[in-house]
Structures are given as structure tokens and as C-alpha cells.
Chain A
Amino acid sequence: NAGVMQNPRHLVRRRGQEARLRCSPMKGHSHVYWYRQLPEEGLKFMVYLQKENIIDESGMPKERFSAEFPKEGPSILRIQQVVRGDSAAYFCASSPPPLSGANVLTFGAGSRLTVL
């Protein structure tokens, strides 16, 4: 029973290039969340998606960042024209439909983006 799979684990890009991070949710989970973590800091919410639907993107920067979760395939977090400030660990998490309870998130191992 594979958990949340993220790839690549490490990605190096030069300023101005594009970064694509992929996330396959845990089997049976239909909801995906992306979080960003800077060194020595907490997890900052970016976006919450269901299949073919963005539920909440209130944490996404307005420019250069986009996310999708197509009907087939993994969720993709795309960062265009990367800048050094985009260097961070990007964590994906998945859950069953969040009811009024705990909404326990299962996290992937993260993708570490370094922008040179």
C-alpha cells in the first residue's frame, strides 16, 4: 500500500527556468494538498485540489505558480520563471474527503527545489 509519492525528490533549476513537481496521492485518497516549507520554518499551505477541480488556492502566489490534478495521472505543481526565493521543500499530502473530523493528512517525502 504505497503512500504519497512525490518526484523528483531533488530538483535544481537556474533562475528563469520552469520547475514541475509531481504528486501521486495515497490509494483511495481523492484530495491533494500542496505545502511549502522554508528551512527552519513551518508548513505553509499553497493549494487544495480534487480531481479536475481546484478547491482552495488561497496560499498560491498569484504569478508564476499553478497546480492541477487531472482526471488521470498525478497532481502537478508548476513554477514558471523560478527565482532564488522559490528554493524550498514542497510537500504534497493527500486525504480522504475531509468531513468535520480530524482530516488526517498523509504527506509525501517532499521535493526539494534549489534555484541557482
Chain B
Amino acid sequence: GQSLEQPSEVTAVEGAIVQINCTYQTSGFYGLSWYQQHDGGAPTFLSYNALDGLEETGRFSSFLSRSDSYGYLLLQELQMKDSASYFCAVRFISSGSARQLTFGSGTQLTVLP
């Protein structure tokens, strides 16, 4: 089958670094994306890893290892406004679903003062 697994909750303090993991089971996919959603608002795109390695965008970085079927989102210098849900997502390579994004169940990040 094809699935994405994320921790349901993560808590950290302001200024800290937090890593949100995403493991997947699939025979093939195009790449790993990350989206942020505040309090049921519109999900917004954060990053995309097509290849193995680290992609950095300001305080946020994302990593992918296809050999380990694993990726993560790294948030540095946490701020209160980073409290949100974070979703990993992939486009699986299979007939009928190759063009739509499949999302993980999301990780609720709470940043404490």
C-alpha cells in the first residue's frame, strides 16, 4: 500500500529547533512536499524535495532520503507564530493517482514561550 506517517503532536519552546518526521511506504513517488496550516486556515506550501538531501528556505529546511523512505521538516529559531499543523505530502507514481497530492495526517506543533 501507499501511506504517509507523521507524529500527531510536537511541543517545543521559543528559540528552539524542532524536527518533524515523515515516513512513507510506496513503490514510487515524485518527491516530498511540506505544507503549513494555521488553525484550520488555508494550507500553504513550504518546501519540496525532488532529490535526496537538504533544501533550505530561511528558518525552515526539509530533508529527503529515498533509500530510507524518510523525510523531515526542520524548523529553527522557533517563533510563537510557527504554532500550526504541518503536513507532508507526495504524488505517488501509480495509475489513477499520479497527479494528485496525498497528505499525511499532520503534526500539530505547539511553541511555548
With A43-B87, A48-B99, A58-B97 already in contact, the answer to whether A102 and B31 are too (CB < 8 A) is yes
Interface residues of B (CB under 8 A from A): 30-31, 33, 35, 40-45, 48, 50, 87, 91, 96-97, 99-106
Q: Which residues of chain B have C-beta atoms less than 8 A from A77's C-beta?
A: none
Among A33, A100, A110, which residue has its beta carbon within 8 angstroms of that of B42? A110
Q: How many A-B residue pairs have CB under 8 A?
A: 68
Q: Which residues of chain B have C-beta atoms less than 8 A from A33's C-beta?
A: 100-101
Tell whether A41 is near chain B: CB-to-CB under 8 Å: yes
Tell whether A45 is near chain B: CB-to-CB under 8 Å: yes
A91-104 to B contact mask, C-beta < 8 Å, 1/0: 10100001011111
Q: Which residues of chain B have C-beta atoms less than 8 A from A55's C-beta?
A: 99
Query: Can you name 18 extra interface pairs (CB under 8 A) apart from A56-B99, A58-B97?
Result: A42-B87, A42-B103, A55-B99, A56-B96, A58-B96, A59-B100, A100-B30, A101-B30, A102-B48, A103-B101, A104-B45, A104-B48, A105-B101, A106-B45, A107-B42, A107-B43, A107-B44, A108-B42
Give the CA-CA distance A38 to B7 in the complex, in Å. 18
DSSP class of B's interface residues: helix, strand, loop or mixed? Answer: loop
Are B40 and A89 touching (Cβ within 8 A)?
yes
Q: Which residues of chain A have C-beta atoms less than 8 A from B30's C-beta?
A: 100-101, 103
Are A101 and B42 touching (Cβ within 8 A)?
no
Shortest C-beta distance, A65 to chain B (Å), equals 16
A48-89 to B contact mask, C-beta < 8 Å, 1/0: 100000011011000000000000000000000000000001
Are A103 and B91 touching (Cβ within 8 A)?
yes
Give the CA-CA distance A108 to B87 in the complex, in Å. 16
Shortest C-beta distance, A77 to chain B (Å), equals 15
Tell whether A109 is near chain B: CB-to-CB under 8 Å: yes
Q: Which residues of chain B have C-beta atoms less than 8 A from A103's C-beta?
A: 30, 91, 99, 101
Q: Nearest A residue to B108 by beta-carbon distance?
A: A40
Q: Which residues of chain B have C-beta atoms less than 8 A from A37's C-beta?
A: 40
Are B45 and A56 touching (Cβ within 8 A)?
no
